[in-house]
Amino acid sequence: MQLTVKRFEELSAAELYEIYRVRVAVFVVEQHCAYQEVDDADRCCWHVFLHDKDGIAAYCRVIDPGVTFPEASIGRVLATRRRQGLGTRIVREGLRVAQERSHANTVHIEAQTYARGLYEQLGFTQVSDEFLEDGIPHIGMIWRAQ
């Protein structure tokens, strides 16, 4: 499994297509959620993905501080191959990228509530009440470097 970390302008057309294809498949089609999945934050982030000959296995984006929150943030977290630890691995890589490339000591996420346990295991703490985002329950969470 290969890890790739690129800014928007560094992505090839094929990489960008594959990123959008898997994100739409998961967040729009699978979750039955019609919303603007492709947004302006894509231009202001690090795209972090694990892939092999079969395509993207896991993905997240690390958004620059000040774009969506004062802190760096991680979003669009997905694993196309479930129950293999890829979700945990991609979030860990996202945290590493946030620290090393965005010089972040704090990372903000809006996690789907069902995934709270995954994020808590990685050191995130809940900082908001549950809220609906596009009809799906979410919570705000923060991670701080130790």
DSSP-assigned letter for residue 144 = E
CATH of the domain at 20: 3.40.630.30
Range of the domain at 72: 2-144
- pLDDT recorded at residue 113: 96
- pLDDT recorded at residue 125: 97
- pLDDT recorded at residue 96: 97
- Integer-rounded Cα radius of gyration of the chain: 14
User: By the 8 A CB rule, do 65 and 72 touch?
Assistant: yes
Domains identified in the chain, total number:
1
- pLDDT recorded at residue 44: 93
For residue 49, what are the CA distances in angstroms to 44, 56, 69, 120, 136? 16, 7, 22, 21, 24
Q: How buried is residue 125: exposed, middle or buried, by Cβ count under 10 Å (0-12/13-18/19+)?
A: exposed
- pLDDT recorded at residue 32: 76
pLDDT averaged per 10 residues in sequence order, the chain, 146 residues: 97 96 87 80 96 95 95 95 91 97 96 95 97 92 94
DSSP-assigned letter for residue 64 = P
